[in-house]
Structure 1
Amino acid sequence: MFSVPLSDDGAQLRPLEPQQAAEFLAHIDRGREFIGRYVGLPDVVEDLESSRAFLKSYAEKAAADAGRIYGIWTDGELVGGVLFRTMDVEQGTAEAGCWLEPSAVGRGLVTTAVGVIIDWAVEERGIHRVEWVVSAANEASIAVARRLGMTKEGVLRESYLRRGERHDIEIWSVLAPEWRARPGRGQPA
């Protein structure tokens, strides 16, 4: 299994696989409320069976070249992750996303990790457009999009129903030529 360093203090990016279901569930349980403010992941991963099924679905996406999931580890503990929720190599499009538990917030790990996977998608898989779909209230995730040089394309007003409340969704993206023009793009810290 590969590992990509994300910081000088040993944080790593590695694939998340079905055999890590128990570790993944423990991670989601630690950050369930925090992660669940804007992301539906904690509503899907509720027990060991659903954790394994979720990771298995991404193993199947990876096998079909239709998505990927990676974990972020600090001090040997899973604390977050990044993914390509969708990936259409033929069309050259992908949607990236992330989540993080509170213990790892504010260290730049998500920005670095997403940069690594965008660089891989653009350079290795020929992806032309990477999208970032985010609740307009999720300021931290919007800040990641900005740091990655993405462009805000628009707002889908009240388009996402989350826990009984309607949210505006912002669409951000970066195109391959824009990504390649960024200095230091996709490089681990």
Structure 2
Amino acid sequence: MYAVPLADNAELRPLEPWQAAEFLAHIDRARANTDPWIPWASRSTDLESARAVLQGYADRQATDSGRIFGIWLDGTLVGGVMFVHFDAKAGVCEIGVWSEKAGEGRGLVSAAVRHLIDYALVERGLHRVEWWSSTRNERSRAVAQRMGMHLDGVLREYFPHNGIRHDKEVWSLLAHEWRPGGGSAPGAAAGEPKGV
């Protein structure tokens, strides 16, 4: 087991099926904050379903196609980051995040995302990191912008969730736009759709 420090009192660690009870307690605290954006939050309602979510990511980890990590603050799980998909052959991955209120406003999600971007683009040599989020999710958009990502476009009414069709923003960051250790390369402008 390993932990990556995010702050003096916070760390990033793998989130695994044996931690389903802790994950479920966290999702119960985070549900109002998370459920509007992440479909598995609404499916993690008991120990069995929470374990199934974590097992799904463990299975993806075994095939090098995804992974999930938790963010612990003062020993309590308060959020996390994940490779929603990871395709080393194509050189593309998607990063996603979530947090309960106790984990917000501390820079923990941004610090964790920087670690995942470094891993994908620097250590594994991928070419492109993607970030997909609802156009209604302003906090998610802010993280993409802080990472120096580019808004590639919007997929209108792309997915239904909780009876509402959401538009999806697709953001991206290319390897040559990233400075290892945590920032966009000089001259990389973020936030505007390409071609505009």
Q: For 1:49-101, what per-residue CA distance to the aligned partner results, in whole angstroms no more than 9, with x for missing partners?
A: 11111111111111110011100000100000000010100000001000000
* Rounded Cα–Cα distance in structure 2 between residues aligned with 1:44 and 1:118: 27
Q: How does 1:146-161 map to 2 (within 5 A)?
A: 146-161=145-160
Report what 1:15 is aligned to: 14
**Segments of 4+ in structure 1 off by > 3 A?**
none
TM-score, L = length of structure 1: 0.93
Report what 2:40 is aligned to: 41
Give yes or no for contact 1:95–1:132 (8 Å, CA) kept in 2: yes
Report what 1:185 is aligned to: 182
Aligned-residue Cα RMSD (Å) equals: 1.2
Letter in 1 for 2:111: T
Report what 2:75 is aligned to: 76
Give yes or no for contact 2:81–2:95 (8 Å, CA) kept in 1: yes
* Rounded Cα–Cα distance in structure 2 between residues aligned with 1:62 and 1:151: 27
Give yes or no for contact 1:35–1:41 (8 Å, CA) kept in 2: no
Give 5+ residue unaligned stretches, structure 1: none
* Rounded Cα–Cα distance in structure 1 between residues aligned with 2:36 and 2:57: 22
Report what 1:89 is aligned to: 88
Q: 2:48 is paired with a residue of what secondary structure?
A: helix
Q: For 1:116-161, what per-residue CA distance to the aligned partner results, in whole angstroms no more than 9, with x for missing partners?
A: 0110111222211010000011111000000001000000111121
> In the alignment, does 2:165 pair up with 1:166?
yes
Q: For 1:25-65, what per-residue CA distance to the aligned partner results, in whole angstroms no more than 9, with x for missing partners?
A: 00001111111122212212111111111111111111110
> In the alignment, does 2:18 pair up with 1:3?
no
> Percent identity at matched positions?
56
Q: How does 1:12-161 map to 2 (within 5 A)?
A: 12-161=11-160
Q: 2:178 is paired with a residue of what secondary structure?
A: helix
Give 5+ residue unaligned stretches, structure 2: 184-196
TM-score, L = length of structure 2: 0.90
Give yes or no for contact 1:92–1:126 (8 Å, CA) kept in 2: yes
Give yes or no for contact 2:40–2:53 (8 Å, CA) kept in 1: no
Q: 1:6 is paired with a residue of what secondary structure?
A: strand
Letter in 1 for 2:107: G
**Between Structure 1 and Structure 2, how many residues are aligned?**
183
* Rounded Cα–Cα distance in structure 2 between residues aligned with 1:147 and 1:65: 27
* Rounded Cα–Cα distance in structure 2 between residues aligned with 1:139 and 1:33: 15
* Rounded Cα–Cα distance in structure 2 between residues aligned with 1:166 and 1:105: 26
